[in-house]
Chains A and B, each alone.
Chain A
Amino acid sequence: MSNKINAQKKRSASRRIANVVVLVLSSIALIAVVAPSIWIVFQILHKALPHFTFSVLTKTGAGLDGGLKNEIVGTAVISIGVVLLAGTVGILSGIFLAQYAKGRFASFLRAASDILAGIPSIVLGYVGYSALVVGFHWGFSLGAGVITLSVLVTPYIAKTTEVALRQVPINYIEGAEALGFKPTRVLSRISLKTALPGITTGLIVAMAISVGETAPLLYTAGYSQNLPKLTLTHSPLGYLTYAVWTFYNQPTKTALQLSYDAALIIMVLILLLIGVSRVIVAQTQRHAETRR
C-alpha cells in the first residue's frame, strides 16, 4: 500500500520536474530568439562607430574609398518611388479586397497576393533584369529597380490596408450612411480616415523592406558612384545594401569600414521605422473606443 503511494508521489514529482524542465528550456529558447537581434545591432555599432566620420554622409563613392552619399540618396529615391508606386497599387487593392471583393474571385486574388510575397526576392530580381533591363532595353535604372521592388512589397501594403479597413467599426459606417453620405464619401471620409494608421504602418513596412532589400536591386538598379539622376531609364544608381554586399570582403580596411557604415545607416533607418510604427500603433490603441 505505502509502496503504491510512494510510486504515485514519485510520478507526480517527475511530472513537476518535467514541467520545470520544459519551462526552463522554453525560456532559454526565448533568450536564444531575442539575443541575435541584439547581438547584430551591437556588433554593427561596435564595428562602425569607432571609425565613423560624418564625411561618409557627404562624400560620394570613389572605388573602394570615399563616402556613401550616392548610396544614401539612391536608397531614399528608390524608397520614395516604391512607396508611391506600390503604395498606390497596394492601397487600391486593399480597398478592393476589403470593400468590394467577395467569393471565389476574391480569395483567388488574395491568394495570388500572398503567393507573390512568398516568391524569393532573387527570382523577382532575375525577372526584373531579363524583362525590364534587357527586354525593354531600360538598362540598369531607377525605373527597373522601383518596379521590381514594388512587385515585392505590394502584397504587404495590400494586406495591411485590407486588415485596417476591415477593422473599421461598422457603426461608423452605418452612422455616416444614416446621415446621407454617399458610398464613395463614406469610404474616403470615414473608412479610409479611420484605417489611416493601419495603412501608414503598411507603407512603413514597405519602406523598411525597400531600405533593406538587396537581391531584387543588384541586377535592376545596378550601381553607380555618382549621385542618382532623376531619370527612370538608362541610368544606374547606388543604394546602401549594395555597399554592404560589395565592400564587406574587399581587401582594404576602408572598404570594410564603408560596408559597416552602410549597415549602420540601414539599421538606424529600420529601427527608426519600427519605432514610428510602434508609436502609431500605440496612439491608435489609446484612441480606440473599444478594445479590438
Chain B
Amino acid sequence: MSIVETSADDAKNDAEGRFHPHLLGRRTPIAIISGLATTVPAIAVIAVLLVLLSKALPAIKYNGVHFLTSTAWNPGNFYANPIVTNGVEHPILAKYGVWPLLAGTLESSIIALIFALPLSIGAAFIVAKKLPPRLRSIAGTFLELLAGIPSVIFGLWGALTLGPILSKHIYPFFAHHAPNIIFFRLFRGNTGNGEGLLTSALVLGIMVVPIIASTTRDLISAVPRLTEEGAAALGFTEWEITRKVTFPWISAGVIGATVLGFARALGETMAVAMVSGAVLGTIPHTVYSTYSTIAAAIVTQLDSALTDATGLAVETLAEAALILMAVTLLANVAARYLVKRVSSTSLPIGKGL
C-alpha cells in the first residue's frame, strides 16, 4: 500500500526508457504468456464498452435524445400489456430522463472538489515541506488509511454519524442566516435529516483527498531544490516560494490529479447511495436536497428494474452507465495525457495508489 512513494521513480525510469535489455528473450514461453496476460485489461475495457453499448441500444432507441434533458423517471406500468415503440418493447407510459442524475453526479463531484482541493494542497504542502521524516511517514499512513477505507463504510459514517450531526448542529445555522440572494439562497430551506447534496459531497470530498494529496505531495518533493533555494536567497518567504516557484512548477500535475479525483467522485457508488437520499427524478434546489447520481441510481434501481419484463428499465440503466463511463473515461484520459506531457510524476491509479 505504499506504492505512492515509488511512482516518481517509476516515471523517471519510464522517461529514460530503461528496461532490462538482457531479458528480451521475446520468444520464451514466459514472454508469450505474460504478453497475453497484459492484454487482459485492454480486452476488459473494450468488453465493458461493448456489453454496455449492446445492452443500452434498445434504451437509446426508445428514450431518444430527450433522455439527456428529461427529468422524468417513470418505469411505466409493469402490469399492463407492453407496447412497441420504435421497434422497442416497453411498459406503457415508460419515460426516462437522465438529466437529474447527471446533474446530481456533476454537482456533487464539483462540490466535493471545492472541499478536497484546498485541503489536499494545504496538507500536501505541510507534509512535504514542514514535517520531519517520521511524522511525514505517519501522515502518509493516514492517507493510505483514508484511501483504504471502503466506500460502504464512508457511507455508513456519512449516513449515521456525519449527516445527523451536520443537520442538527451546523446546517440550521446556515439555513437561518443565509441571505435570500443569489447563490446564498441555496443554503436556505429545510435541512432534512442530513442525507443530501452537501453531506454526500463532503463525504465524496474526503474520499478523493488521498488521490490529490498524495500526488501533490510527491510533486512538491520532486521540484528541484535549487530553484526553490534560489528564491529563498532572494528573500522570498516560504509562502512566496510556494506560490511563485513551487506551484507553477507542479500546477499541471495538480490539475491532472484533480481531474482524476473528479473522475473518482463521479463514479463513487456506495457512499453516495447511502448519503444522498437516493431520490430519483428531482434536481436538488437547495444544498440540503436529497438527490441521486448515476452510479448510485444503478446500484439502488437495478433490483427493481429487473421486475420490468420488457427489460427496458435494465437497458435504461445501461444507457446511464454508458454516459457515466464516457464522462469518467474522458476525465481519466485527459488527466493522464495532460500530466504525461508536462510532468515527470505519473498519476496514481484507481483509489489513489
Contact = CB atoms under 8 A, between A and B. Distances in A.
Nearest to A211: B150
A122 B323 CA distance: 13
Interface string B19-54: 110111110101101111111111011011001100
Nearest to B315: A130
A113 B311 CA distance: 32
B219 interface: no
Contacts of A102: 17, 19
Contact of A274 (B22, B41, B145): B145
A99 B23 CA distance: 6
Contact of B329 (A37, A100, A115): A115
A213 B237 CA distance: 45
B143 interface: yes
B148 A274 contact: yes
Main secondary structure of the interface of A (DSSP, over half): helix
Contacts of A160: 3, 353
B34 A112 contact: no
B151 to A, nearest CB: 7
A212 B148 contact: yes
A149 interface: no
Given A109-B42, A278-B2, A187 B23 contact: yes
Interface stretch (B96-104, B169-177, B263-271, B283-291): B263-271
B118 interface: yes
Interface residues on A, range: 35 or more
A28 B125 CA distance: 12
A120 B31 CA distance: 31
B154 A40 contact: yes
A97 interface: yes
Contact of B302 (A39, A126, A187, A191): A126
Contact of B37 (A88, A120, A121): A88
Interface stretch (A15-23, A55-63, A64-72, A227-235): A15-23
Interface residues of B, number: 105
Interface in B137-152: 139, 141-146, 148-152
B240 interface: yes
Contacts of A18: 237, 239
Given A37-B142, A274-B141, A26 B125 contact: yes
Given A40-B153, A126-B318, A202-B3, A120 B266 contact: yes
B267 A244 contact: no
Interface stretch (B4-12, B57-65, B67-75, B76-84): B4-12
A80 interface: no
B111 interface: no
B267 A121 contact: yes
A163 B20 contact: no
A78 interface: no
Interface in B256-275: 260, 263-264, 266-270, 274
Given A92-B38, A130-B55, A274-B141, A123 B44 contact: no
Contacts of A124: 48
Contact of A267 (B7, B18, B153): B153
A283 interface: no
A98 B18 CA distance: 9
A30 B122 contact: yes
Interface string A143-168: 00000000100111011101100110
Interface string B205-221: 01001000100000000
B119 to A, nearest CB: 5
18 contacts: A27-B126, A36-B206, A99-B20, A113-B42, A114-B349, A160-B353, A167-B6, A170-B20, A191-B23, A201-B1, A214-B150, A214-B269, A218-B299, A245-B152, A266-B150, A270-B150, A274-B1, A278-B1
Contacts of A277: 1-2
B350 interface: yes
Nearest to B144: A274
A290 interface: no
Contact of A118 (B142, B145, B302, B349): B349
A49 interface: no
Contacts of A117: 349-350
Nearest to B44: A151
A112 to B, nearest CB: 4
Contact of B270 (A99, A187, A245): A245
Interface in A68-126: 88-90, 92-93, 95-102, 108-109, 111-126
A40 B1 contact: no
Nearest to A132: B51
A221 interface: no
B13 interface: yes
A154 B34 CA distance: 13
B117 to A, nearest CB: 10
Given A118-B260, A119-B328, A34 B23 contact: no
Interface string B235-254: 00111101000000000000
Contacts of A162: 10
Contacts of B325: 119-120, 123
Interface in A150-199: 151, 154-156, 158-160, 162-163, 166-167, 170, 173-174, 177, 183-184, 186-187, 191, 198
